[in-house]
Amino acid sequence: DQQVKQNSPSLSVQEGRISILNCDYTNSMFDYFLWYKKYPAEGPTFLISISSIKDKNEDGRFTVFLNKSAKHLSLHIVPSQPGDSAVYFCAAASNSGYALNFGKGTSLLVTP
């Protein structure tokens, strides 16, 4: 069963605007949430993470927000750049377990 869900398969945003990618999860035992970025023919690369004890983590243009009560997190990219065009995967893990549970990914296209 899919414990991490990314319900938007694709998103198109204009350069300079904000990109918002959403992720929902079902397992309340998850302690960490991560976003990975993937270009074609490459492996996923780590982007940003957040612990369940926080509700926000920021790194440059990237901010992740966590709403534990809603079991929802989002990744904000401001401002969006054409080089941000990639597939973004949301992933979650618990301290007691080791596997990363991935969503299906959202393909982001940033147009000039």
Partner 1 sequence: EAGVAQSPRYKIIEKRQSVAFWCNPISGHATLYWYQQILGQGPKLLIQFQNNGVVDDSQLPKDRFSAERLKGVDSTLKIQPAKLEDSAVYLCASSVTSGGAGEQFFGPGTRLTVL
Binding residues (CB under 8 A) for partner 1: these are 4, 6, 30-32, 34, 36, 41-46, 49, 51, 89, 91-95, 97-100, 102-105
Report the residue number, 77 or 91, with the smaller CB distance to partner 1.
91
Q: Minimum distance from CB of 43 to partner 1 (Å)?
A: 3
Report the residue number, 15 or 100, with the smaller CB distance to partner 1.
100
Instruction: Quote the CA–CA distance of 45 and 32 in Å, as a whole number.
Output: 16
Q: Minimum distance from CB of 70 to partner 1 (Å)?
A: 20
Question: Letter for the amino acid at 100?
Answer: L
Q: Minimum distance from CB of 111 to partner 1 (Å)?
A: 23
Count how many Cα atoms sit within 13 Å of the Cα of residue 22 in the half-sphere of its side chain.
9
Report the residue number, 82 or 97, with the smaller CB distance to partner 1.
97
What are the residues facing 57 on neighbouring strands? 64
**74 Cβ contact partners less than 8 Å away, ≥ 6 residues apart:** 20, 21, 22, 23, 64, 65
